[in-house]
Amino acid sequence: MSSGRDVFIFSAGKLHRKNNTLYFVNEEGKSQPLPVEQTENIHLLGNVDFNSSLLHILTQHQVRLHVYNHYGYYDGTYYPRNSTISGYNVVQQSSHYLNPAKRLFLAKAFIQSGVHHMVRNLRKQGEATKPYVDTMVSRVALLDAATGIPQAMGVEGQCRQVYYEAFPFLLKNTGFEWSGRNKRPPKDPLNAMISFGNGVMYTTILSEVYKTALDPAISYLHEPSSKRFSLCLDIAEIFKPLLIDPLVFTLVNNRRIQPKHFRNEDGMYFLSEEGRKIFLTDFEAKMKETIKHRKLGRQVSYRYLIRLEAYKLIKHMIGDEIYKPFKAWW
């Protein structure tokens, strides 16, 4: 278990409230207090029991509870009532979904940023990946002619396919193999780690969107759904290739995560508990890293960059400033 803004619970046990304090009791009966006042998110990666009394205190302190299944893949979130929600903003956000041209503008922006970061990852490999980069640049240019969401998603899919074809150039003789992206279930370790990372990215984005007046269920690239916060999937298009993919390849190329850190059950691969701890430790460290923001003129963390993206969307929707998606410039 780690402390700080996010608490990750890997062990089986019980999470309960006693007076105004949270406690986690593991299977051996050892009790550990959790500083709910300093916690923003609790991630349950073990089989943990809890009751409605716990949810009450989480609501009081605006703490999100993220639940993962046996394989470490994201299942769902307890999302306390949002005190920052604005009726005016929800109306404006909805109007941008209902207007085809406004929706397409935002959908294209998410794709352009995502492809920018995919290309950025490949360019770091030099001449070996130049043909893939050139192909992706030519494909993403077709986005300008897209007249609807299906066409735009088709362009994104073509770019992503080329990107995945170049993945072997990002591996440094680590013993990992790559034959293409697969999920539900992941059929090899690399796909398992990417899926795990994408789930963590989703919950991180949800947590940052929660602090703004955006409604996470109203989206533009992905179709809004009653079973997911689809705006988080839109914003994830920007940050998955910027943060998750480089982290995956850094961990495997530095041999911090090895084939031994994975399990295989009936053809489904997933990270072991040790593997998840390694991944999450480095992910949290990355979220705390800072860059000099060109517009703000000060250092901001990668985590805060996500919230800034949400603020930019709000400004766009209320007519203050045209949305320009984040694109790493370094």
Q: pLDDT tens digit string along 117-176?
A: 999 999 999 999 999 999 999 999 999 999 999 999 999 999 999 999 999 999 987 788
Q: pLDDT tier at 3 (50, 70, 90 boundaries)?
A: very low
Same domain, 146 and 250: yes
Residue 95's domain spans which residues? 87-317
Q: Please report whether residue 329 resides in a domain.
A: no
Is residue 222 a known part of a binding site? yes
Handedness of CA 253, 256, 260, 261 (dihedral sign): negative
- Mean pLDDT on 258-285: 94
Tokens 């993919």 — which residue?
245
Same domain, 106 and 245: yes
Closest CA to 42 of 26, 59, 75, 64: 64
Q: Please report whether residue 1 resides in a domain.
A: no
CA distance 99 to 110: 17
- The pTM score is 0.90
Same domain, 71 and 107: no
Cβ(288)–Cβ(278) below 8 Å:
no
CA distance 231 to 205: 9
Q: Please report whether residue 143 resides in a domain.
A: yes
Residue 103: which CATH number?
1.20.120.920
Q: pLDDT tier at 1 (50, 70, 90 boundaries)?
A: very low
What's the structural domain count of the chain?
2
Residue 33: which CATH number?
3.100.10.20
27: Cβ contacts below 8 Å, ≥ 6 apart: 11, 12, 13
Task: Output the average pLDDT for the chain.
Answer: 92
Same domain, 58 and 94: no
Which of 45-59, 188-202, 205-219 is predicted least confidently? 45-59
Same domain, 199 and 292: yes
Cα first-last separation, the chain: 34
